[in-house]
């Protein structure tokens, strides 16, 4: 069996709130294999974004371990962590978070420049990816000159330009109309099928969850998964820590 690209085990995260501690993650386990599209669903406030931030090296969990290709994310130095976030993890957010004063091309090539590539090589890779997501004729547009769906496609291209081990997407189609959502979902599948990309996607969108290979549900701070033998039954998701 292949080893997972991303593992979160026993993740706990709590926040101080007015009336004491808010227990958001209470021992969440998740494992994502290379080439999978895994959806995380759950009501608003159940901790999906918190989980993605802990997995992506953006927010340190209070307990538990995160491994990306076997490396323990929260034991790394700040420098290695920054490198990991740049090279091995791609992020897509509900609102694109593109840099407004840069063109689509510049937004996509920046992560490659940051990883030390020459401008020319980075621009070549970014151009190819933008063509591939159907925005070959929008490269010099700034985000403000693109539609919401186009902005999200640029954000997906940016997330993938360094060929990360895994892309963490937080409500990627949350801000799009039905047609643009569908085309974004198709794009994610095409990226998996043709480029071998791996996705963990937090979503409220039943259409997106339905097309995922597996669906995990956040319940009281843990992740549950449909039983393979009896899909109507939800059982705790398990991560095998190497």
Ligand X SMILES: Nc1ncnc2c1ncn2[C@@H]1O[C@H](COP(=O)(O)OP(=O)(O)OP(=O)(O)O)[C@@H](O)[C@H]1O
Footprint on this chain of Mg ion (rule: CB under 5 A): 48-49
Q: Least distance (Å) from Mg ion to the CB of residue 172?
A: 12
Which of 48, 87 has the CB closer to Mg ion? 48
Segment interacting with ligand X (CB under 6 A) among 39-47, 84-92, 119-127, 158-166: 39-47
Among positions 48, 85, 112, 214, the unique one binding ligand X when judged by CB under 6 A:
48
Minimum separation from the CB atom of position 52 to Mg ion (A): 8
| Complex with ligand X: residue 87 or 222, whichever CB lies closer | 222
- Binds ligand X by CB under 6 A, chosen from 5, 28, 31, 49: 49
Q: Taking CB under 6 A as the rule, does residue 45 contact ligand X? A: yes
Where b means 16+ CB within 10 Å and e means fewer, 87-105 reads bbbbbbbbebebeeeebbb
Task: Give the DSSP H/E element, type plus range, for residue 71.
Answer: strand 71-72
Strand partners, 223: 218
204, exposed or middle or buried, with CB in 10 Å at 0-12, 13-18, 19+? middle
**Around Cβ 111, how many Cβ atoms within 10 Å?**
22
Q: Does 50 bind ligand X (CB under 6 A)?
A: yes
**Which among Mg ion, ligand X, none contacts residue 42 (Cβ within 5 to 8 A by kind)?**
ligand X
Closest approach of Mg ion to the CB of residue 56, in Å = 13
Asked if residue 61 binds ligand X (CB under 6 A), the reply is no
Nearer to Mg ion, 74 or 95 (CB): 95
Q: Which parts of 19-38 interact with ligand X (CB under 6 A)?
A: 22, 24
DSSP-assigned beta bridge partners for residue 166: 89
- Cβ-based neighbours of 55, under 8 Å, separated by 6 or more: 6, 8, 11, 30, 66, 73, 168, 200
Would you count residue 74 as binding ligand X (CB under 6 A)? Answer: no
Q: Using CB under 6 A, list all residues that contact ligand X.
A: 15, 22, 24, 42, 44-50
């Amino acid at each position: 069996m292949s080893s997972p690209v991303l593992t979160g085990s026993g993740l706990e995260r709590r926040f101080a709130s007015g009336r004491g501690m808010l227990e958001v993650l209470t021992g969440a386990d998740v494992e994502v294999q290379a080439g999978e599209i895994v959806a995380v669903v759950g009501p608003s406030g159940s901790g999906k974004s918190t989980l993605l931030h802990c997995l992506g090296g953006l927010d340190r969990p209070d307990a538990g371990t995160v491994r990306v290709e076997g490396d323990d994310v929260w034991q790394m130095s700040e420098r290695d962590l920054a490198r990991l976030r740049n090279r091995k993890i791609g992020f897509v957010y509900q609102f694109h978070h593109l840099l407004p004063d840069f063109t689509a091309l510049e937004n996509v090539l920046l992560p490659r420049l940051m990883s030390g590539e020459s401008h020319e090589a980075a621009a070549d890779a970014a151009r190819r990816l933008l063509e591939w997501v159907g925005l070959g004729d929008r490269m010099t547009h700034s985000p403000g000159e693109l539609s919401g769906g186009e902005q999200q496609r640029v954000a997906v291209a940016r997330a993938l330009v360094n060929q990360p081990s895994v892309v963490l997407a937080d409500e990627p189609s949350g801000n799009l109309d039905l047609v643009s959502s569908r085309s974004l979902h198709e794009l994610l599948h095409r990226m998996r099928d043709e480029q071998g990309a791996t996705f963990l996607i937090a979503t409220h969108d039943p259409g997106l969850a339905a097309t995922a290979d597996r669906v995990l549900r956040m319940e009281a701070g843990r992740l549950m998964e449909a039983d393979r033998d009896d899909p109507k039954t939800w059982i705790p998701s398990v991560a095998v820590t190497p």
